Chains A and B, each alone.
Chain A
């Protein structure tokens, strides 16, 4: 990654306008959600769960004997329950405020994506476009339509992205306050969604690629950085193991358990295809896409081996998606929420690719192509197809 660029005149104003653009776009695009209602399935279950857990101790008690029998008690997600509870009690169960909360948090997530992209790309325009693309990505639009999914994925990704941003800030400034805050957001994030654990390999990969460049085996004090993240995750791992030893654990009893095998690769390919197309495109197109991706792999691998940032972003996308390929075998087009976090890195990767183009003519051509694909295409999907 490049070193920090010197502060430029007007940088604050530029940042202000970028944030204004992202926030306004999200508010305008997503305002239709404000008229939606709770669904009778998971939303009703989460609401009932939040009503039952009327004290902080009940929320934190992972053995709380809930009357709910599926989603709500499958995971230990006290922060989500707290969100449901707080919104229920303060809004008198008015879905408008739930959706408003999600839309605002989604806009904040897009802003975090902008700052992460800025750390990686060191350039305002492609970073802003990457964040904007994440903000209006059609599957993310779908994810935020459903409170049961969005109150899980949007706050979960908030902590996920914020932890990574704070870590990247630390690597840039070496200011211990950044890493301390990153540890705090990491720890809180673990209790928002357990997939937060996947940040450990991502941060470790970043650490090995960019911080601990020399490969001698002598342990250094800075090696504690990724180790502390692992130590912080131990309470959650303990709770997860306790829950999984319970025969009523829904993931195991109803969802068919965790399935490991070669079909995980097909799922991964399918998720990547979905991330590229943003909609279901039919089997023929899926095959063409798979064929193209397989043909591209040797070239992408060569690129990744030469450019550590590409390697980091590709591995981050694969790791962030891979958590969803071991279970839950429904049609992935019904699982757009699983693309929520990964899509942030996907857009950063493609705008990183764009920013590496040297030839100004190809650059201009790519710029219009990318704008059409990442911004116009998704806007068309949202406003015309929806």
Chain B
């Protein structure tokens, strides 16, 4: 009697184990398919470019499924981007493999499909339309101007080509600069003696102001070095001049652009200095 009971109990356990295995196997196969579809190098590059062009301003980036984050951070792909969790944040980006609705209280304000992934910007409903539009992180048209003439520097993948710099410090590139925990993605533009570096951003959608954040790398500050200047033009008209002193931290300068509000305008920055020693200058701006 006990033997028969044990035998049928054994069969039941075997059936249950088998059923659990089948369920796990089906779940595994569904997720494995998602895994096989995961974005490749080219898609990550495009997603990164999209984020920058769409005005990424260090908002947290979330992933669905979560493990996509592992790929996003591998090989420095999204290095410098904010991959931390969004805890009650007003705005964040979601990179996902399925187009999904945002959680309650949030709305999608920008969405795009980049190859096989979705890159959406999600904003809290109570945040209002305050999304800053980062303009410096676009791919600018760069010209290095001097008495000897102008050199045009193609800018792609966040940097200029080797034909436009002979030493590393002359390389114009996107990077992250941090002061006291305040990390910003900015364009590293080291001014050069007797030369103007011209950055042009065509057809920027304008609001009532442009807010610039500028800084000099912490380890290059001694307190008595030259200032870095940037003349700002909108549609050819100079609207202001930024000056960055030899002090640590981000300097925020807002310039009034109400005249161009709601329009598309060409924005030009001319960066220069009187003495280029140790002037590791970084600049970013948004039209919010």
B179 close to A (CB within 8 Å): no
- CB proximity of A333 to chain B, nearest CB, Å: 10
With the chains together, A263 CA to B35 CA distance in Å? 8
A21 close to B (CB within 8 Å): no
Choice from B25, B29, B74 contacting A255 with Cβ under 8 Å: B74
> Which of A254, A256, A330: most chain B CB closer than 10 A?
A256
Complex contacts, B31 vs chain A, CB 8 Å: 262, 266
A-B contact pairs, 30 of them (CB 8 A): A254-B75, A254-B79, A255-B74, A255-B76, A256-B70, A256-B71, A257-B73, A259-B70, A261-B70, A262-B31, A262-B67, A263-B65, A263-B67, A263-B70, A266-B32, A266-B35, A269-B32, A270-B35, A283-B33, A283-B36, A287-B32, A291-B29, A294-B25, A294-B28, A295-B25, A328-B74, A329-B70, A329-B71, A329-B74, A331-B41
Q: Mark A262-283, 1 if CB is under 8 A from B, else 0.
A: 1101100110000000000001
* B37 and A283 contacting across the interface, CB-CB below 8 Å: yes
Q: Mark A215-258, 1 if CB is under 8 A from B, else 0.
A: 00000000000000000000000000000000000000011110
* A330 and B74 contacting across the interface, CB-CB below 8 Å: yes
Complex contacts, B36 vs chain A, CB 8 Å: 270, 283, 286-287
Q: Which residues of chain A from 36 to 78 have any CB-CB distance to chain B below 8 Å in the complex? A: none
Complex contacts, B37 vs chain A, CB 8 Å: 283
A298 close to B (CB within 8 Å): yes
* B70 and A331 contacting across the interface, CB-CB below 8 Å: no
With the chains together, A262 CA to B68 CA distance in Å? 12
> Which of B18, B29, B32, B79: most chain A CB closer than 10 A?
B32
* Nearest residue, chain B, Cβ from A328: B74
* Nearest residue, chain A, Cβ from B26: A294
* B18 and A298 contacting across the interface, CB-CB below 8 Å: yes
* A265 and B74 contacting across the interface, CB-CB below 8 Å: no
Complex contacts, B40 vs chain A, CB 8 Å: 331
* Nearest residue, chain B, Cβ from A290: B32
Q: Mark B22-57, 1 if CB is under 8 A from A, else 0.
A: 000100110111011100110000000000000000
* A287 and B29 contacting across the interface, CB-CB below 8 Å: yes
* Nearest residue, chain A, Cβ from B77: A256
* Nearest residue, chain A, Cβ from B18: A298
Q: What residues of chain A have their CB less than 8 Å away from a CB belonging to chain B?
A: 254-257, 259, 261-263, 265-266, 269-270, 283, 286-287, 290-291, 294-295, 297-298, 328-331
Complex contacts, A291 vs chain B, CB 8 Å: 29
With the chains together, A330 CA to B39 CA distance in Å? 10
With the chains together, A105 CA to B40 CA distance in Å? 34
B21 close to A (CB within 8 Å): yes
B66 close to A (CB within 8 Å): yes
With the chains together, A331 CA to B31 CA distance in Å? 17
Complex contacts, A297 vs chain B, CB 8 Å: 21, 25
Complex contacts, A262 vs chain B, CB 8 Å: 31, 67
- CB proximity of B32 to chain A, nearest CB, Å: 5
A298-B67 in contact given A266-B35, A331-B40 (Cβ < 8 Å): no
With the chains together, A165 CA to B31 CA distance in Å? 39
Complex contacts, A287 vs chain B, CB 8 Å: 29, 32-33, 36
Q: Which residues of chain B from 64 to 122 have any CB-CB distance to chain A below 8 Å in the complex? A: 65-67, 70-76, 79
Complex contacts, B65 vs chain A, CB 8 Å: 263
* B75 and A330 contacting across the interface, CB-CB below 8 Å: yes
With the chains together, A294 CA to B24 CA distance in Å? 10
With the chains together, A290 CA to B36 CA distance in Å? 11
- CB proximity of A159 to chain B, nearest CB, Å: 28
- CB proximity of A330 to chain B, nearest CB, Å: 6
* B35 and A256 contacting across the interface, CB-CB below 8 Å: no
* Nearest residue, chain B, Cβ from A256: B73
With the chains together, A259 CA to B31 CA distance in Å? 17
- CB proximity of B287 to chain A, nearest CB, Å: 33
- CB proximity of A337 to chain B, nearest CB, Å: 16
With the chains together, A18 CA to B65 CA distance in Å? 50
With the chains together, A286 CA to B73 CA distance in Å? 25
With the chains together, A256 CA to B68 CA distance in Å? 12
Choice from A256, A259, A261, A298 contacting B21 with Cβ under 8 Å: A298
With the chains together, A262 CA to B31 CA distance in Å? 10
* A255 and B75 contacting across the interface, CB-CB below 8 Å: yes
**Given A283-B33, A287-B32: 11 more A-B contacts, CB < 8 Å:** A254-B79, A255-B75, A256-B71, A259-B67, A265-B28, A266-B32, A266-B35, A269-B28, A286-B36, A329-B70, A329-B71
Q: Mark B167-182, 1 if CB is under 8 A from A, else 0.
A: 0000000000000000
Choice from A257, A283, A290 contacting B29 with Cβ under 8 Å: A290
- CB proximity of A73 to chain B, nearest CB, Å: 16
Ordered nearest first, which 9 A-B pairs have the shortest CB separation?
Answer: A256-B73, A263-B67, A266-B35, A259-B70, A256-B74, A329-B74, A294-B25, A329-B71, A254-B76
Complex contacts, B70 vs chain A, CB 8 Å: 256, 259, 261, 263, 329
* B79 and A261 contacting across the interface, CB-CB below 8 Å: no
- CB proximity of B75 to chain A, nearest CB, Å: 6
Complex contacts, B28 vs chain A, CB 8 Å: 265, 269, 290, 294
With the chains together, A287 CA to B37 CA distance in Å? 11
- CB proximity of B277 to chain A, nearest CB, Å: 24
Complex contacts, B21 vs chain A, CB 8 Å: 297-298
A256-B75 in contact given A261-B67, A298-B18 (Cβ < 8 Å): yes
Complex contacts, A257 vs chain B, CB 8 Å: 73
Complex contacts, B67 vs chain A, CB 8 Å: 259, 261-263
A294-B79 in contact given A283-B36, A283-B37, A286-B36 (Cβ < 8 Å): no
- CB proximity of B91 to chain A, nearest CB, Å: 24
